Structure 1
Amino acid sequence: MRAAVRAAFRLARHELRLLAGLALWLARRTHGTGGGQAFGYARGQGPVMAGLAFVCVIETLAMAVLLRNWPAVHAAMLFLDVYTVVFVVSLHAASVVRPHVLGADHLRIRHAVHVDLRIPLDRIASVRRETRTTHERAEGELDVPVGSQTSVTLELTAPVEHVTLLGRRRRVRLVRFHAEDAGVLVRALTRG
């Protein structure tokens, strides 16, 4: 029972953070980039998310027509459909406002509100630009793809702890993630 309550709390917090990302996106602000160099990753997923939002809007209109004779069901479905559109837009907004951040002593790898991993720079053994489109789950590895693609690979000298959306803790020694300016990020890390 306790685990279910904790999971429900984490999911509710996740939803609120998505909505906060939408508010930041509308205000044209970013989250957690103060003093660091930001590296975006959401540009490649923009058209797909826009297409998904469009399909959700069409589905909302179709359900409104199909359920017009059942007002209670229509109201419930309208609420769910509108919430789905807001959710899809919020997913993209959270990715835009939460870029990867290279700070003075750490690299912060993020993906919307799902992943937020801080890696101390002194734990990075090697960094390379490596485009991969296939990712198999392996112990000690974390893949953070965008559009099924990663473009940077980090090997660490010591593991760092990654906390999943539902609170599971994993220790990772290899991290693959996507960045739009992967070459610039790799050069900045190599210089550091």
Structure 2
Amino acid sequence: MSAAGLVRRAVAFELGTWRSLGRWVARRPDVPAGAEAFGYVSAASPVLWTFVVLSAVEIPLVDWLLPWPAARVALLVVGVYGLLWMLGMLGGMHVHPHTVDDEGLRVRNSFAVDVRVPWEAIAAVRVRRRSVEGSRTVVVAEEGGRRAVSVAVVASTQVDVELRTPLVLPLARTGGRPVDELRLAADDPAALVRRLRAGLAGHAAATPDADAR
């Protein structure tokens, strides 16, 4: 990626963090009317809150320890900025949950991942807890000639979404290659799977000739 592209991504990420913090404070989750929300933040919350608390303790401590006024002011600004930034990251996960509606499944991770999977593209869903290698949010794995993409939280996923046919998803990590399965994290994977199965049944009933086409 070019330097200009990296700058654009950094700016977009920064703006997304602050927008998320604003939505979280205002209690305005990004859930469209008629959609049902499913969270995925519970595994990450303890880690993020630990950093938030430590940062909050560090700010007055550093201010008390440093004898130089200019350095104290500079580090105070940096400390407050970092604290708010981490709260924005946490808020992003709260205000951008997965959603299910009449169109299908929408898989998200904060504001950085947003993937829509229509009902007609889903073959089956199941609860399956998996560990994901590495610390990246999006991980692509090749398994027996099939390609699976995981949208992980704390290096784990809990729900498998099997696709009817390989599908190209708007995720840079896939390199534009189609995937056969999408795996995602969920706080209540059983509830999400029940809702998805009900949606699949409803979609099949509304389009009885879908499998024949």
Structure 1 position 37, deviation (Å): 1.2
What SS does the corresponding residue of 2:182 show, helix, strand or coil?
A: strand
C-alpha displacement of 1:62 = 3.0
One-letter identity of the residue aligned with 2:168: V
Per-residue deviation at 1:188?
2.0
Q: Which amino acid aligns with 1:127?
A: V
In structure 1, C-alpha distance between the alignment counterparts of 2:129 and 2:6, rounded to whole Å: 34
Q: Which ranges in structure 1 are unaligned for 5 or more consecutive residues?
A: none
Residue number among 184, 190, 194 corresponding to 1:187 in the alignment: 194
- The alignment's TM-score, normalised by the length of structure 2, stands at 0.79
- Distance in 1 (alpha carbons) for counterparts of 2:84 and 2:122: 38
| Count of residue pairs brought into register by the alignment | 189
With the length of structure 1 as denominator, give the TM-score of the two structures: 0.87
- 1:170 shift after superposition: 5.4
Q: CA RMSD in A?
A: 2.3
Q: How far 1:169 sits from its partner (Å)? A: 4.8
What is the SS of the residue equivalent to 2:186?
coil
Q: Which residue does the alignment assign to 2:110?
A: 112
Deviation of the 1:101 alpha carbon = 0.6
8 Å contact kept, 1:114–1:164: no
Q: Which has the higher contact order (CA 8 A, sep 6+)?
A: 1
Q: Which runs of 5+ in 2 are unaligned?
A: 201-213
- Report the equivalent of 2:171: 163
For residues 8 and 34 of structure 1, what CA distance do their matches in structure 2 show?
34
Indicate if the aligned counterparts of 1:132 and 1:151 stay in contact, CA closer than 8 A: yes
Q: 1:175 to 1:80 in 2, by over 3 A?
A: same
Q: Which moved more, 1:136-145 or 1:28-37?
A: 136-145
Counterparts in 2 of 1:12-91, with a 5 A limit? 12-69=11-68, 71-91=69-89
Separation in structure 2 between the aligned mates of residue 169 and residue 81 of structure 1, nearest angstrom: 39
- Equivalent residue for 2:98? 100
Distance 1:27 1:53 in 2: 19
Q: Is contact 2:132–2:155 with CA below 8 Å preserved after alignment?
A: yes
Q: Which moved more, 1:128-137 or 1:106-115?
A: 128-137
**What percentage of residue pairs aligned between the two structures are identical?**
31
Q: Is the Cα contact below 8 Å between 1:135 and 1:143 reproduced in 2?
A: no
Instruction: Show CA shifts across 1:143-189 (max 9, x none).
Output: 22223321101121221322349xx6554332111112211211222
Output the amino acid matched with 2:107. I
Partner of residue 145, structure 1: 152
Higher mean C-alpha deviation, range 7-16 or range 41-50: 41-50
Once the two structures are overlaid, the 10-residue window that deviates more, 16-25 or 38-47, is 38-47
Say if 2:185 is the partner of 1:178: yes
Question: Computing the radius of gyration over CA atoms, which structure comes out larger, 1 or 2?
Answer: 2
Indicate which of 130, 137, 161 corresponds to 1:154.
161
